[in-house]
Structure 1
Amino acid sequence: ATLAMQQQLIDGGEDGFDLAVADALGDAGELGHAIGAVHTALAQAFGTSEVSGETLRAALNTHLDELVVQAPQLKEFESAMRQLYGSIDDGPHEIQRIHGDLHLGQTMKTVNATEPRFYLIDFEGEPARPLSQRLAPDHALRDVAGMIRSFGYARGMGSHSADWEKGNVAALIDAYGAAADDTVLAAYVVDKAAYEVVYEANNRPEWVDIPLSAIADLTQS
C-alpha cells in the first residue's frame, strides 16, 4: 500500500488556463515542447506497444455511439465524424502511457522565474473513467488534442480572436512535432469536442456552442 507521496513544489507557478484567458501564456510552442518531453519520459518509463488502425477506429466509433445517445445535438455531425474516423490509416500506431486528461488547467507556468517553464500536473487521468482505463496505454496525440480543445475554451472565455486560437494551436502542434493535418490528431480533437458537448449539455448548457462550433469547423474542413 502507498503510505506517502512526495511532490515537487512549483514555486510561483500560475494556472495555464488563467494565463491563456488573460493572453499572458507566452509561447505555446514551449508548452508543446513540455508535452513532448513528458511523453518521451513516460514512454521510456513504461514502454510502448502498437495497435492497428482498426482498433483506433473501433474505439472512436464506440465512444461516439455512447455520446450520441447522451447528446442528440451530435446527430447532425455523426456521419461526418464517422467518415473522419474511417480515414485513419491501418497503422500500426504506437500507444503508451499518457496524461489522459490534459488541458491548460492541468499546466502551471513559473512566469516570474529567471527561466520560465511549463509543468504538467495531475496525472490521474479523467476522473469519471475507471482506474484500469486511466492506466491503459493510449495514443499520445489524445493529450495533444485535449490541449488544442482547451485553447478553444480559452478563446471563448477571454474573448480572443480566431487567429489567436489558430496561432497558439499551430505553435503547439509544430513544437510537439505533430503534423497539422494528421488524421489521428483531427479524430481525437473531434472526439474530445464531442465529449465536451455531452458535458456542457448536462452541466453548462450555455457553453455547448463552444464544442459544437469546433466540431462543425473540423468536419467541414
Structure 2
Amino acid sequence: MDDIFADFREAYQMWSGPLLSTTLLPISPDSRPNRLVNFYRGSDESKIQADIRYQVNAARLPNAESKAWIDVYISFWKVIGELLQAEKLAREGRGADSDWISVYEAWKEFSNALIRGYTNGGFQAWTVPCLYVAGKYLRIFAIRADEQSTRKKGVNTFTSGFQEDVVGDLGKNERLEDAARVINRIFTLCISDRCVTTECVIYNLLGPSLKNRLQCSFPID
C-alpha cells in the first residue's frame, strides 16, 4: 500500500496528473508486478478506511479534498479485490467462473467516487488524467461483463477480444450502455472546466458504438 501512496504524495508535490493517474491503474507496471497484490493485501475490510485515511492525510490536503480521495481509494481497493479474484480463476483455467460483472460494478462505483471528487471534493484541474483512466477501463470492464452475460445465456455475439470495438445491437449490451452514461458525466465535467483537450482524448479512446451514445458539445473529426 505504501508504494501507491508514495506516488500519490509525489504527484501532489509535483502537480503531476499523469503520475497521479498511475496510482489508479488496475494493472501493475512491469517494473513492479506485485504492486496491486501488495496494495490489496496491505489491508482488509475491517481497517481499510483507517488505513486509507492515514495514507491520504499524510499529503496534508484540504479536508474536503482528503475525504474525497479517501472515498476514491477505498473504492479502488474494492475493485482490486474483485479483479484479483477474477484473474486468479482465469490463471487456474476457470475463466468462465470469473465474475467480470462484479468487477465492472466495483469499477463503476470507483468512477462515481472520482466524479464526486470533482463535483464536491474540490479536485484540481491538473488531476484530470485520472478521469481518462476511469473512462478507459470502465469501457473495458463493461465489455467483459457483457461477454460474461452473453455466455451465460448460451449465445456468444462477440467475435473479437475485449480491446476491440463492439458491433451489433447495443441494446443487448447492458453494461456498455450503462458505462456510456457514466462517461457522459465525465464529459460534462470536462466541458464545465473548459477542458476541451482532455474531453477529446477521452472521447477518442472510445469505440464508434459508444460514441453514438454520447452527447458531445462540439464536433470532433
**TM-score normalised by structure 2 residue count:** 0.29
Larger relative contact order (Cα-Cα within 8 Å, sequence gap ≥ 6)? 1
User: Where is the helix percentage greater, Structure 1 or Structure 2?
Assistant: 2
User: Where is the strand percentage greater, Structure 1 or Structure 2?
Assistant: 1
